[in-house]
Amino acid sequence: MSRKSKRNKKENLPVLKSETKNSAVAVLLVGLSIILLLSGFQKAGPIGRVIFNVLGKLFGGGYFLIPVVLLLVSLVFLIGEHKKLIGLTMLGSGLFVFCALGIVEIVSPDNGGLIGKVLGSFDILFGYYAGIIFNLTLMVVSVMIALNSPLKFNFNAEDQDVADKNGKDKKPRFTPAIPPEPAEDGTKILIGGEEVTQKEMETAEKETNAKKEETAKTEKPKEVKPLKVQSVTASWKNYVPPPIALLKTSNDKPTVGDLRGNANIIKRTLESFGIAVEMGEITIGPKVTRYTMKPAEGVKLSRIVALNQDLSLALAAHPIRIEAPIPGKALVGIEIPNKTATIVRLGNLLGYSDFASAPYLTFALGRDVGGEPVFANLAKMPHLMIAGTTGSGKSIMIHTLLVSLLYKNSPETMRMILIDPKRVELSVYEGIPHLMAPVITGGKKAVAALRFAIEEMDRRYGVLLNAGKRDILGYNDGLTGQGRKEGIMPYIVIVIDELADLMMTYGREVENSIVRLAQMARATGIHVVLSTQRPSVEVITGLIKANISSRIALQVASQIDSRTILDMSGAEKLLGGGDMLFTSTELSKPKRIQGAYMGSDEVEKVIEFINKENPAGAESGGMVGEIAETLEKKISEADFSDDDDELLNEAVEIVRASKKASASLLQRRLKVGYARAARLLDIMEEKGVIGPGDGAKPREVFIDNE
């Protein structure tokens, strides 16, 4: 107990601000300079005479330079904000005084004191004039050190301006020939992993604005170059993928404001609450800028996290996010929104060589806080859940995923089942050869499609067992040169755009199907992508959540919604417009990413190109054709049975056994809602199983146990 109390006392001790320390030192230096000045005129008593005698022997006639230098150093302590600047000023000032004493000794012997005799002895080695020049040279160097300023000769400034106007100087400003100088406080500024300076940032912002105007006037059509697709077999070997030129690109830079000023505000605000920190590097992303810092020993991270609102007020920025600690680093990160965000275009990301050489189910997520591209492999996830409010970028995230997969895969290697209860979001993909069936909009058809996926999963496990393979990748690799009857086994990606609507109408069937697929479908190449606007526990149930570990949380309305999707808060502080937190089994903490953007016109161009160059009738049976026929048959059967209910037989058996027919009975036994139970009663009444309702009297049952 005593140890804990001592630790608590140490943590509660007030910490002097650095500004207070500097002011105290400045006042002491001013007082000392006045005492030295009075000692020179014998006005400081016996102690003053001792000081004058000692320093007079050391400095000689340069004694009166000491009070002047001390006054200048005191000003530096009052104005200077950084320890390095203060140290350099003291070093330069001392060197200046010593060189001045050397010159005094050369010009007037025996008047430079002991220090002057040492430095004045250079006239013996170099002569009178060379000794003076040597000391003058050191004096110039001392002034440069004290002011921390180099000599600048801008003779060709006019010529340089002319060259810039004529467009001759087109070297990239973010890749200087020499390493960029760090900020005065040692803080590094990083964009896309490259270090830049504050001046380069300002120059880049001006260049970005100028390029926007020039591009609008002189933009030329891009050369259409298709993305190289990984090798495919059978009838789709001539598949033509869409060219990247169909997608828009952008090279704009964000506007971030005063980086060092914000860093100083963060440091001073934390110090005012008794938390000492050392600022680290600054990383600029598309939508936020992350300021890193290292807390002093003994500082609890919870104290920094608790100051979220205070930092937001001091920085005049909302919302800010504190990441404590940053994964893999002994640092704390504070993410502040940029003044002007930049759009992360999908066209820029798909042009990376990392994407071209990635596995089949790789798709572009966006760029992280450092501006680096982020890709994800759906095969490793192996299922994905996306949640976010209206306007958060959820639909664009789905389009980004689907278009990325279309760029990577032919219909022979990947097929899609699209379920769109809203009827308008995914209808644009109608007709592409990758679809196993038309876009599904009805709830009953969606249930039939999920049941088909389970049957297909079981069938594939049988195929893998007979072939002696563990997963779809090993099976497809083994087909080369084997001459087997069955062709390549395609991946199947099932996308459900609005899960909440299905869960409200067919909750039990949909949940059971999704859970079964999430538990077992990975090895067979069947992957599920769920999207919902309402991340509540009624939609994202415990079983679904436990079996889908890869999740994307866009901006949500409350901390409760964030905990539902991520098991932690944070998504409620996102900025919207594609700002997301991505978590998977490979990440220890959610990773903040600015999602890739593509407009509806870009999606339409890609789909139009695929339909034109790769007509849907080009396929020639095989495993892919059989799977598509089976799914269409399932959906058509669901069409004809719209008036019935798959639980009807169970309901009839319950009524027959209990000799009673009521909505509450069916609700308890079948675990369905009132609306579903009432519909089952209506169907049984139409088929003559039970009689009509008669007020408070029970319904008559017309069938017996036989």
3-state secondary structure 645-691: CCCHHHHHHHHHHHCCCCHHHHHHHHCCCHHHHHHHHHHHHHCCCEC
| Sign of the torsion formed by the C-alpha atoms of 502, 507, 511 and 512 | negative
Tally the C-alpha atoms within 13 A of residue 171's C-alpha that lie toward its C-beta: 8
Q: What angle do CA 420, 421, 422 make, to 5 degrees?
A: 90
For residue 279, the surrounding DSSP H or E stretch is strand 277-284
Q: Residues comprising the binding site for ATP?
A: 388-395
Burial of residue 168 (number of CB atoms within 10 Å: 0-12, 13-18, 19+): exposed
With left for phi above 0 and alpha for psi between -120 and 50, is residue 190 left, alpha or beta? beta
CA distance 181 to 699: 87
> If you write DSSP's letter for every residue of 3-26 in order, what string do you get?
HHHHHHHHHHS----HHHHHHHHH
Q: How far is CA 567 from the centre of its chain?
A: 18
Closest CA to 203 of 168, 166, 163, 172: 172
Q: Residues comprising the binding site?
A: 388-395
In this structure, are residues 211 and 251 in contact, taking their beta carbons and an 8 Å threshold?
yes
For residue 162, the surrounding DSSP H or E stretch is helix 157-166
CA distance 191 to 290: 11
CA distance 461 to 465: 6
Radius of gyration of the chain from Cα atoms? Answer: 37
